[in-house]
A and B are shown apart, each in its own frame.
Chain A
Amino acid sequence: MATNATTITREHERDLIAQAKQGDRVALRELVDSHKERLYGFIFRMVRNQHDAEDICQDAFLKAFASLESFSTEYRFSTWLFTIGYRVCLNNLRRKKPVSSELDFTTLPGSDSGDSNDILESEDAAKAKSMVWACVDRLSPPQRATVLLFYKQELGCHEIARILQMPPATVKSHLHRARACLRELLEPMTDRAYETFRNFAQRAG
């Protein structure tokens, strides 16, 4: 999986799952500790609510452990966990109203006549990030999940396809539509805001 995600080797993961199937609490703890932050990061970005994200994260782990007997070590545990997490997210999102508020570009760094030298100030950086995440929030759940798994979890289309349980071609299609949607949402920003935004990203990178 992603570079920051692989905290345990495949072999060790298999051992942990075999021990967890026997009811070994230490193995269960290690499985939780090695996956919880990444799973929570994904779920939080999907539902944008800390309390809900933690509940979903816990639910996903419990569901995974409850059916651990049927899990095949042919797949990565993280793939399975993300699949369960994504499904629980979808159930949660269905119960909630979609985001419909207009994007406000006036709060973006550089959108006023002020000096652009302060672009690295944390407030501006936070505004730029929140602007992007606000656009991501407006994507449909499959598009959002695809974008998060592709950019944030750094997964390839085939692994994303396994997690979202759709063909790789559909994943590509979601990614294409998501980019088009993000572009459409971010286009209205003023030239100056755009330049500042771009500079910030370059410096932050």
Chain B
Amino acid sequence: MDCKQAEKLFDAYLDGELSGSMATELGAHRLQCANCRRALALLEVTGHIISSDRKPESLTPDFTDRLLACVDEQELGNWAKWQHRFYLGAALAAAAVIVLAFAGFFDGTRVGMVAGEKEVNPSMTSDAPVEAIEDDEPIEPAKEAALSEWFRRTEKNVKSKKESGESLQRALDSTLEQVLDVLENEADMAPINPDTDAAKTPFPASKSDGVGDVAEEDGH
């Protein structure tokens, strides 16, 4: 074994990975070669000093306490960050609502509607009874009763026309005519007598648009 071959085995030898026969060969070369002997000894000694140097490298005594205090601070900081984000989000949302309110976004509309768009009373498109129609002015009880009665009659009228096989459009048209008559006469509100003609059923003019629209929709 020459020096080049021996040097290639240095790492395996130092890592304890050299097989028995190779270790013997390297040992024999080491005895003969002063350079390899010196090089190998240098590496062995260096490794030994690095591994055995127990020079005290102590941390400051309160290291753990300070570290755990930092952990607490970090957690509190995270909580404060979330709180800050929450308050900031709430403030931004409130500001957005105020801006939209000033811009008239919510005037006469519901969520999901664009300002100026006419509202469709959901009760008119379903079988649910009419309870109230939203408006700026409060509805008087008498008017409300009259409206309820009118819708009830309309529903009954439409149902009977359906059952008798008559044109639904005609039934709706006749109801609409009654509504328009009332609008033209600007009739005063009065309690509804169930026996009186539906054409006399009074209701505020402002409601006519909605009712008429729905009646037309039902006809489709």
Contact = CB atoms under 8 A, between A and B. Distances in A.
Interface of A: 25, 28-29, 32-33, 36-37, 40-41, 44-45, 50, 53-54, 57-58, 61-62, 65-66, 128-129, 132-133, 135-136, 147-148, 151-152, 154, 157, 172, 175-176, 179, 182-183, 186-187, 194, 197-198, 201-202, 204-205
Given A29-B68, A61-B67, A129-B53, 5 more contacts: A50-B57, A62-B74, A179-B14, A201-B45, A201-B48
A28 B50 contact: no
Contact of B43 (A33, A40, A61, A182): A182
A104 to B, nearest CB: 17
A28 B60 CA distance: 18
Nearest to B7: A180
The 8 A-B pairs with the shortest beta carbon distances in the complex, nearest first, are A151-B50, A201-B45, A151-B51, A132-B49, A44-B57, A32-B64, A41-B57, A176-B11
Nearest to A61: B67
A28 B71 contact: yes
Interface stretch (B34-42, B80-88, B203-211): B34-42
A50 B56 CA distance: 11
6 contacts: A28-B71, A45-B57, A129-B55, A147-B50, A187-B39, A198-B41
Given A25-B68, A186-B42, A40 B11 contact: no
Contacts of A50: 57
A136 B50 contact: yes
B64 A183 contact: no
Contact of A32 (B10, B14, B68): B68
Q: Interface on chain A toward B: helix, strand, loop, or mixed SS?
A: helix
B66 interface: yes
Nearest to A153: B51
Given A136-B50, A151-B50, A152-B50, A66 B74 contact: yes
B159 to A, nearest CB: 64
A197 B42 CA distance: 9
